[in-house]
């Protein structure tokens, strides 16, 4: 099985209740004092939260779908995935994910690339069907249950 470590950042304007964009039970390590402004954040003032959690596959799926997040192809770091929302004018959310198998024998850059491509495919808007090779199907079954 795969374990997802997620660092999640949310920014919204003053008139929006940031709590509706935050998962419960996560560790909050940043608040409004860490708020940024600029090109990425189109409003001054507002609210900010930074949270982190470690999730099993079903919890990760629930998180991504609940907050309407989409995978972003970001090849800066081959070991991470970036997800964000792009459909909510009142919230900017971004998360960086590190996924690691609970079986160290499955940890390799090749296996990670297979998993990363599958996650990019599943959480694209809309998902795109793809025919996988047998070894990729077996690996994904091992990692994702």
pLDDT at 17 over 60: yes
Instruction: Write down the pLDDT at residue 127.
Output: 45
Q: In the structure, what pLDDT confidence band is assigned to residue 129 with cuts at 50, 70 and 90?
A: very low
User: Using an 8 Å Cβ cutoff, are 91 and 15 in contact?
Assistant: no
Dihedral angle computed from the Cα positions of residues 33, 34, 38 and 43, in that order, rounded to the nearest 10 degrees: -50
pTM for this model (two decimals)? 0.74
70 Cβ partners below 8 Å, 6+ apart?
Answer: 83, 84, 85, 86, 123, 124, 125
User: Rounded distance, CA 102 to CA 86, Å?
Assistant: 32
* pLDDT tens track for 130-141: 455 555 555 566
Q: What is the mean pLDDT of the chain?
A: 76
Q: What's the total number of domains in the chain?
A: 1
What CATH number is associated with residue 33? Answer: 3.30.1440
Backbone angles phi, psi at 113, to 5 degrees: -65, -40
By 3-state DSSP, what share of the chain in percent is helix, strand and coil, each rounded to 5? 30, 30, 40
pLDDT at 113 over 70: yes
Q: Which structural domain, as residue segments, surrounds residue 115?
A: 2-144
* pLDDT tens track for 34-60: 666 554 665 667 888 999 999 988 898
* pLDDT tens track for 77-88: 667 777 787 666
């Amino acid at each position: 099985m795969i374990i997802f470590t997620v660092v999640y950042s949310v920014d919204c304007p003053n008139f929006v209740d940031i709590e509706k964009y935050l998962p419960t039970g996560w560790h909050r390590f940043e608040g409004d004092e860490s708020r940024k402004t600029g090109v990425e954040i189109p409003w001054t003032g507002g609210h900010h939260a930074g949270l982190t959690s470690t999730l099993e596959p079903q919890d990760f799926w629930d998180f991504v779908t609940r907050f309407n997040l989409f995978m972003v192809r970001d090849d800066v770091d081959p070991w991470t995935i970036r997800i964000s929302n792009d459909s909510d004018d009142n919230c900017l959310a971004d998360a960086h994910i590190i996924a690691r198998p609970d079986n160290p024998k499955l940890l390799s850059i090749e296996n990670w690339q297979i998993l990363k491509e599958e996650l990019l495919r599943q959480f694209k808007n809309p998902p795109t069907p793809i025919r996988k090779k047998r070894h990729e199907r077996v690996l994904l079954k091992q990692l994702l249950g």
